[in-house]
Amino acid sequence: MTTLTAGASRGSVQDAVQNAMRDSLPLTFAPMRANDVDEVARIEVDAYPFPWTRGNFFDSLASGYLAWVARDADARIAGYFLLMPAVDDMHLLNITVRPDLQGRGIGRRLLDEIGALTREAGIDAVLLEVRPSNAQALAVYRHVGFIQIGLRKNYYPAAGQAREDAIVMRLMLSDVPLAPPGHSPGARQS
């Protein structure tokens, strides 16, 4: 299993605290199934002003995209992500942490799992779009090692009839160290 923790080698107190918080909530990763979509859609509506629809999730599953959920010890979905493999990169279409669990390192663990799945697919880069107004996500992506490679004008819907740009970011996994032996962001189920 890989980790996207570029900062872990620095050994800072902040990284130690984040690692302890990340490891304190047990997560189990499993492929998203059709019967997960209702719970995922509820989380999506709670997390975003412009959420994906149930149809978007069903279409992604039908298209064969890599869709995964992370469940907590109570078997509730703590977060999820959807990936679309392309020739040169893995496109991260959606990554979401349940709002009541945000700030506890789960997003970072989802990114660790995305890195592992991307490497297992023989792909060395993860590509994503993010709203400039999503400061929390931008900070996490930058900390992990994503760099801005472009800007998509008027990509996202915004309040009223407005539109918001998307920052396009890429993470080259060859630039990210492997996890130390025995580290895993969570257990996997088939």
When pLDDT is cut at 50, 70 and 90, the band that residue 158 belongs to is: confident
Say how far apart CA 37 and CA 27 lie, in whole Å: 18
Give, in order, the Cα–Cα distances in Å from 102 to each of 21, 56, 114, 140. 12, 23, 18, 12
Q: Are 178 and 141 in contact (CB under 8 A)?
A: no
Task: Match 């990114």 to its residue by tokens.
Answer: 111
Q: Is 174 exposed, middle or buried (0-12, 13-18, 19+ CB in 10 A)?
A: exposed
For residue 136, pLDDT over 80 is answered with yes
When pLDDT is cut at 50, 70 and 90, the band that residue 190 belongs to is: low
Q: Is 6-188 assigned to CATH 3.40.47.10?
A: no
Which residues are identified as catalytic? Answer: 129, 141
Say how far apart CA 165 and CA 121 lie, in whole Å: 30
Q: Are 71 and 106 in contact (CB under 8 A)?
A: no
**How are beta strands 28-31 and 66-71 bridged, if at all?**
antiparallel
For residue 143, pLDDT over 80 is answered with yes
Task: Match 């977060």 to its residue by tokens.
Answer: 79
Say how far apart CA 69 and CA 123 lie, in whole Å: 21
pLDDT digits (tens, 9 = 90+) for 3-45: 343 333 434 545 544 554 445 789 999 999 999 999 999 999 9
Mean pLDDT of 149-172: 93
**DSSP output for 164-175:** EEEEEEEEEGGG
Say how far apart CA 116 and CA 110 lie, in whole Å: 10
Q: What is the mean pLDDT of the chain?
A: 86
Say how far apart CA 35 and CA 170 lie, in whole Å: 31
Residue ranges covered by each domain of the chain: 6-188
